[in-house]
A and B are shown apart, each in its own frame.
Chain A
Amino acid sequence: EDQVTQSPEALRLQEGESSSLNCSYTVSGLRGLFWYRQDPGKGPEFLFTLYSAGEEKEKERLKATLTKKESFLHITAPKPEDSATYLCAVQAVRGSARQLTFGSGTQLTVLP
């Protein structure tokens, strides 16, 4: 069974205080690891897809990295507008279908 565990559950940072969010996973036949941002009452917004260990992707203040067992979302010099829940998900093939399994998310609050 595919499993995704995110830590910490909640994180409070001061503006400009860099930190990392963790996503550890167990999956048979990884077909991509996804990071999403979700604001309250809205659907998840796609950030990154990573496919192989060692891969890195960046977008503004966010950088995602991938190893064989976990992924990190690094946030450099965050701003209050970065406050959101960040979701990690792994894509695997079950039968003939690609499916996502999600972690429970990290709720990030950036204080001004």
Chain B
Amino acid sequence: DGGITQSPKYLFRKEGQNVTLSCEQNLNHDAMYWYRQDPGQGLRLIYYSQIVNDFQKGDIAEGYSVSREKKESFPLTVTSAQKNPTAFYLCASRDGQGRLGYTFGSGTRLTVV
């Protein structure tokens, strides 16, 4: 079955560390997105990519970085510059104009220890 796989499901980061969250899709979607979700808040856009080797900052990109070397993969790195990284991170992809909706992964919960 086609879908989006995020790993790991839980991730713990020490102060000053960079960590990378994985996102892989086999839906053949061109566009991919990273969102952050905090309790009681809606999803906020971190980065997005419409095509391989191209990506754009979203509303809260500071302290994060991404790459898009393959159509299937869109990893997110949370750097030590992100001062409040504890959150639930969601990866999504979109077909064409999005008429079938955006497909989301199951998420990665990142905790600073």
Residues of A in contact with B (beta carbons under 8 Å apart): 4, 9, 31-32, 34, 36, 41-46, 49, 87, 89, 91, 95-105
A41 touches which one: B50, B100, B107 (CB < 8 A)? B107
Name A's interface SS.
strand
Contact residues, B16-60 vs A (CB, 8 A):
31, 33, 35, 40-45, 48, 50, 56, 58
B43 touches which one: A41, A45, A87, A91 (CB < 8 A)? A87
What size tier do the contact residues of chain B reach?
20 to 34
Residues of B in contact with A (beta carbons under 8 Å apart): 4, 6, 31, 33, 35, 40-45, 48, 50, 56, 58, 88, 90, 92, 94, 97-107, 109
Q: Are B101 and A34 in contact (CB under 8 A)?
A: yes
In the complex, A32 Cα to B61 Cα: how many Å? 25
Q: Are B90 and A43 in contact (CB under 8 A)?
A: yes
